[in-house]
Amino acid sequence: MSLYLQSRRPGQLLALMAEPEAERMAETMVAFANADGGTIVVGVDAEGRATGTAYPDEVEATVHAAMRLCRPPVQVEVQQEEIAGGFAFFIRVPRSTELHSLADGRVLIRTGAENRPLTGEEIHQLASTKATGEFEAQPVPGARREDFDEEVIDEFVARWEEKQGREWTRSRDDLLYQMGALDEEGRPTVAGILLFGAEPQVFLPQSGLVFVKFPGTEPRGEDGRAGYGRREEIGGPLARIIQRTWAVIMEEMRVGAVVKGLEREERTEYPPAAVREALVNAVAHRDYRLRGRRIEIRMFADRMEIISPGGLPGYITLDNIVEEHFSRNPRIVAGLFQWGYIEELGLGVDLMIEEMTAAGHPPPHFRAEPYLFSVTLYNKQERPPIARWQFQMNERQAKALEYVQRHGRITNREYRALCPDVSAETLRLDLKDLVDKGVLLKIGDKKGTYYILK
């Protein structure tokens, strides 16, 4: 089996198809093209094993039939790979600057592992966003290939090979082009300078970050006048900005301790995972077109504010921010994903909420304005942290928890597939019981509901 498939599961960037099917393939093509792009793998089962039932001629014919169902046609790249038991066909769909629909008029978007139709208002919002073009793909005036940091590129290639489970055998520039860091003429793009530039702020001054710590709850110094306790201006390529900012935050976060039995347990002022996700999200999703303002992290006595220039992208709103995902900068996001700073697309907001509430803090507060998005984490504990759960569960619930541990989440539909002979109401009550006992956290509402470990 391909190591790539062995380590992945269907999600925001990956769809698996046991056999070629034109209509389903067209739906996924449109959904990927309208979102962050992605890969459809034909000829494998849900576990990534070859089915042995997909053949080159049939797959090629299905791809062409699927493309004819898309309006306008979605451009794809098809590669064939031999794996244990047969062949796998990788259909790579890039994110498109156009809005795509199906022949029947449906406009789909990729949401997690599903293709979801958009409402009329969402279509309008998405079309408006696509019309602005993709700033990160534009070449940077005056920048040359020599402006990249070779050490950073070496580190990235090593991470890429580790994540993909195979060696990159072509030139480094081929990989940079594939990642969108170089354009067809070999010129550095905005994404390339931000990810690999030796001094990105020379070309894009707005791409840095400012960290400020205030001693109280207001932006004032200890004497009550305007001032701060510590101020750091952090620059470099995005991976270095994340690394350096994280080091500063950890230096400034208070650390307490609690004693459980005979053991001493240290607790940071904020859950590290929640802070890390808020930082990475700000770096990955800010609007780099906006000049004159950098990402800001303000640490007060009672809260931490992470402020990112640029409003919410695409059709994302405060109402659907938990369930939906849309990247303003898919190439930057893909780069940080390969680097390991993004574990799974679309789960950052969920993880922030989960980590904060599990530690007894209020959930994060999100604020969206036309040219600004902020996340505020409060260090006040509303209740004690959730203790490790210990209770009796039925066989169905044990099966559900095993599924969540393997796949990261579970939906009502997936639970029904695990227990096909049990009524939907009984299964709903099973999941509600796990939520009530603090084992699972319910995310979303109605058809978008899913559950993650708490």
What pLDDT is attached to residue 315? Answer: 82
Sign of the torsion angle spanned by Cα atoms 220, 226, 231, 237: positive
Encoding tokens for residue 224? 């009550």
| Domain C-terminal end among 198, 224, 241 | 198
**Nearest CA among 353, 392, 358, 396 for reference residue 375:** 353
What pLDDT is attached to residue 345? Answer: 66
| Domain C-terminal end among 79, 98, 129 | 129
pLDDT band for position 3 (cuts 50, 70, 90): very low
| Domain C-terminal end among 198, 218, 236 | 198
52 CB-contact burial (10 Å; exposed 0-12 / middle 13-18 / buried 19+): exposed
The more confidently predicted of residues 150 and 81 is 150
pLDDT digits (tens, 9 = 90+) for 347-370: 678 788 888 887 888 889 999 998
What pLDDT is attached to residue 223? Answer: 65
User: Do 373 and 234 share a structural domain?
Assistant: yes
390, part of any domain: no
Least confident of 158-162, 226-230, 255-259: 255-259
pLDDT digits (tens, 9 = 90+) for 296-351: 999 999 999 999 999 888 888 888 887 778 888 989 998 998 998 887 666 678 78
The Cα–Cα gap between 437 and 393 comes to 11
- Kindly state the percentage of the chain with pLDDT values over 70: 91
User: Do 305 and 362 share a structural domain?
Assistant: yes
388, part of any domain: no
Residue 389 has pLDDT above 50, yes or no: no
User: Do 185 and 210 share a structural domain?
Assistant: no
pLDDT digits (tens, 9 = 90+) for 111-123: 888 899 999 888 9
387, part of any domain: no
51, part of any domain: yes
User: Do 439 and 337 share a structural domain?
Assistant: no
What is the Cα Rg of the chain in Å?
23
Encoding tokens for residue 17? 């198809």
Residue 222 has pLDDT above 80, yes or no: no
What pLDDT is attached to residue 391? Answer: 46
User: Do 303 and 330 share a structural domain?
Assistant: yes
Query: How high does pLDDT run on average in the chain?
Result: 87
The residue range of the domain holding 413 is 395-453
User: Do 57 and 99 share a structural domain?
Assistant: yes
Encoding tokens for residue 80? 């064939």
User: Do 294 and 172 share a structural domain?
Assistant: no
User: Do 365 and 297 share a structural domain?
Assistant: yes
The more confidently predicted of residues 264 and 422 is 422
162, part of any domain: yes
Mean pLDDT of 151-171: 92
User: Do 168 and 62 share a structural domain?
Assistant: no
Question: How many separate domains does the chain show?
Answer: 4
Residue 280 has pLDDT above 90, yes or no: yes
User: Do 272 and 227 share a structural domain?
Assistant: yes
User: Do 183 and 93 share a structural domain?
Assistant: no
User: Do 374 and 430 share a structural domain?
Assistant: no
- Kindly state the percentage of the chain with pLDDT values over 90: 51
Mean pLDDT of 256-270: 64
pLDDT digits (tens, 9 = 90+) for 50-69: 888 888 999 999 999 999 99
48, part of any domain: yes
Mean pLDDT of 200-209: 97
